[in-house]
Amino acid sequence: MVKVEAIAVAYLNLKIPYGDARALVAAWNERFPQYNYQMLTQWILAGDVSYAYGKLTLARYTEPKDLAQLVVQMRSAGGVGIKDRRYNLKIYPKCLVGSEAVQWFMVNFDLTLDDAIRVGQRMLERDIIHHVVDEQDFKNDYLFYRFYEDE
Protein backbone atom coordinates (compact mmCIF):
# COMPACT_ATOMS: atom_id res chain seq x y z
CA MET A 1 0.00 0.00 0.00
CA VAL A 2 2.86 2.39 0.79
CA LYS A 3 4.33 1.88 -2.69
CA VAL A 4 0.94 2.64 -4.25
CA GLU A 5 0.77 5.83 -2.19
CA ALA A 6 4.22 6.91 -3.44
CA ILE A 7 3.12 6.30 -7.04
CA ALA A 8 -0.09 8.27 -6.51
CA VAL A 9 1.74 11.18 -4.89
CA ALA A 10 4.30 11.25 -7.72
CA TYR A 11 1.47 11.13 -10.26
CA LEU A 12 -0.57 13.90 -8.61
CA ASN A 13 2.10 16.22 -7.21
CA LEU A 14 4.80 15.95 -9.84
CA LYS A 15 2.34 15.65 -12.75
CA ILE A 16 3.94 12.45 -14.02
CA PRO A 17 1.82 10.11 -16.18
CA TYR A 18 0.68 7.17 -14.05
CA GLY A 19 2.61 4.50 -15.97
CA ASP A 20 5.77 6.59 -15.81
CA ALA A 21 5.22 7.22 -12.10
CA ARG A 22 5.14 3.47 -11.45
CA ALA A 23 8.42 2.96 -13.30
CA LEU A 24 10.07 5.99 -11.68
CA VAL A 25 9.12 4.91 -8.16
CA ALA A 26 10.52 1.43 -8.86
CA ALA A 27 13.72 2.96 -10.27
CA TRP A 28 13.96 5.21 -7.21
CA ASN A 29 13.81 2.17 -4.95
CA GLU A 30 16.67 0.57 -6.88
CA ARG A 31 18.76 3.77 -6.76
CA PHE A 32 18.08 4.51 -3.08
CA PRO A 33 17.35 1.19 -1.35
CA GLN A 34 18.16 2.77 2.03
CA TYR A 35 15.02 4.94 1.81
CA ASN A 36 11.55 3.45 1.96
CA TYR A 37 8.49 4.50 -0.03
CA GLN A 38 7.11 6.44 2.90
CA MET A 39 10.20 8.70 2.92
CA LEU A 40 9.86 9.20 -0.83
CA THR A 41 6.22 10.19 -0.36
CA GLN A 42 7.12 12.67 2.40
CA TRP A 43 9.90 14.19 0.31
CA ILE A 44 7.63 14.62 -2.72
CA LEU A 45 4.96 16.29 -0.58
CA ALA A 46 7.59 18.59 1.00
CA GLY A 47 8.88 19.62 -2.43
CA ASP A 48 12.23 17.89 -1.93
CA VAL A 49 11.88 15.63 -4.98
CA SER A 50 11.59 16.97 -8.49
CA TYR A 51 10.96 15.35 -11.85
CA ALA A 52 13.14 16.27 -14.81
CA TYR A 53 14.72 14.49 -17.75
CA GLY A 54 12.82 11.29 -17.05
CA LYS A 55 13.98 10.78 -13.47
CA LEU A 56 13.24 11.76 -9.91
CA THR A 57 15.87 13.95 -8.28
CA LEU A 58 16.34 14.53 -4.58
CA ALA A 59 17.01 18.13 -3.52
CA ARG A 60 20.39 18.96 -2.02
CA TYR A 61 20.70 18.51 1.74
CA THR A 62 17.66 16.28 2.02
CA GLU A 63 19.44 13.09 3.00
CA PRO A 64 20.18 12.73 6.72
CA LYS A 65 23.92 12.17 6.14
CA ASP A 66 24.14 15.38 4.10
CA LEU A 67 22.38 17.36 6.81
CA ALA A 68 24.73 15.90 9.43
CA GLN A 69 27.74 17.10 7.40
CA LEU A 70 26.12 20.50 6.98
CA VAL A 71 25.64 20.82 10.75
CA VAL A 72 29.33 20.09 11.33
CA GLN A 73 30.27 22.84 8.88
CA MET A 74 27.76 25.28 10.35
CA ARG A 75 29.16 24.78 13.85
CA SER A 76 32.85 24.93 12.85
CA ALA A 77 35.11 27.98 12.64
CA GLY A 78 33.89 29.95 9.65
CA GLY A 79 30.41 28.57 10.12
CA VAL A 80 27.26 30.48 10.91
CA GLY A 81 27.49 32.78 13.94
CA ILE A 82 26.29 30.97 17.05
CA LYS A 83 26.31 33.17 20.12
CA ASP A 84 24.20 34.61 22.89
CA ARG A 85 21.62 37.01 21.48
CA ARG A 86 19.53 39.70 23.14
CA TYR A 87 15.97 40.64 22.22
CA ASN A 88 13.58 42.75 24.33
CA LEU A 89 15.91 42.65 27.36
CA LYS A 90 16.01 38.84 27.29
CA ILE A 91 19.17 36.89 26.49
CA TYR A 92 18.89 33.77 24.35
CA PRO A 93 22.06 31.65 24.64
CA LYS A 94 23.82 29.88 21.77
CA CYS A 95 21.60 31.08 18.94
CA LEU A 96 21.91 31.66 15.24
CA VAL A 97 19.89 34.18 13.25
CA GLY A 98 17.70 32.84 10.44
CA SER A 99 18.70 35.51 7.91
CA GLU A 100 22.41 35.00 8.67
CA ALA A 101 22.05 31.23 8.21
CA VAL A 102 20.27 31.76 4.88
CA GLN A 103 23.06 34.06 3.69
CA TRP A 104 25.70 31.56 4.87
CA PHE A 105 23.97 28.72 2.96
CA MET A 106 23.81 30.82 -0.19
CA VAL A 107 27.45 31.95 -0.05
CA ASN A 108 29.01 28.66 1.03
CA PHE A 109 26.89 26.18 -0.92
CA ASP A 110 25.70 28.18 -3.91
CA LEU A 111 22.04 27.74 -2.98
CA THR A 112 19.22 29.94 -4.20
CA LEU A 113 17.28 31.92 -1.62
CA ASP A 114 14.36 29.47 -1.76
CA ASP A 115 16.67 26.45 -1.44
CA ALA A 116 18.52 28.02 1.49
CA ILE A 117 15.25 28.64 3.33
CA ARG A 118 14.12 25.11 2.54
CA VAL A 119 17.35 23.69 4.02
CA GLY A 120 16.75 25.65 7.23
CA GLN A 121 13.14 24.47 7.37
CA ARG A 122 14.27 20.89 6.76
CA MET A 123 16.66 21.21 9.72
CA LEU A 124 13.78 22.46 11.85
CA GLU A 125 11.45 19.65 10.73
CA ARG A 126 14.10 17.04 11.49
CA ASP A 127 14.61 18.39 15.01
CA ILE A 128 18.14 19.61 14.39
CA ILE A 129 17.29 23.22 15.21
CA HIS A 130 14.26 24.98 16.65
CA HIS A 131 12.97 28.51 17.06
CA VAL A 132 14.02 29.65 20.55
CA VAL A 133 10.42 29.92 21.74
CA ASP A 134 9.09 27.33 19.25
CA GLU A 135 6.73 29.79 17.58
CA GLN A 136 8.13 30.06 14.05
CA ASP A 137 8.99 27.98 11.05
CA PHE A 138 12.40 28.71 9.59
CA LYS A 139 12.45 32.13 7.96
CA ASN A 140 14.89 34.47 6.29
CA ASP A 141 14.41 37.00 9.06
CA TYR A 142 15.95 38.26 12.29
CA LEU A 143 14.63 35.28 14.25
CA PHE A 144 16.67 33.19 16.68
CA TYR A 145 17.15 29.45 16.29
CA ARG A 146 19.14 27.04 18.42
CA PHE A 147 20.59 23.60 17.80
CA TYR A 148 18.85 21.04 19.99
CA GLU A 149 22.25 19.73 21.03
CA ASP A 150 22.88 23.13 22.68
CA GLU A 151 19.84 22.85 24.95
CA 149 – CA 140 distance, rounded (Å): 22
Q: What is the pLDDT of residues 13-68, one digit of tens each?
A: 888 888 889 899 989 888 888 888 888 888 888 888 888 888 888 888 888 888 99
The parent domain of residue 74 ranges over 64-150
Co-location of 132 and 80 in the same domain? yes
Domain final residue pick, 39, 58, 77: 58
Counting the structural domains of the chain, the total is 2
What value does the mean pLDDT take over residues 114-132?
94
Quote the percentage of the chain above a pLDDT of 70.
Answer: 99
Q: What is the pLDDT of residues 71-91, one digit of tens each?
A: 999 999 999 999 999 999 999
Q: What is the pLDDT of residue 18?
A: 86
Co-location of 78 and 52 in the same domain? no
Q: What are the C-alpha distances in Å from 9 to residues 18, 35, 151?
A: 10, 16, 37
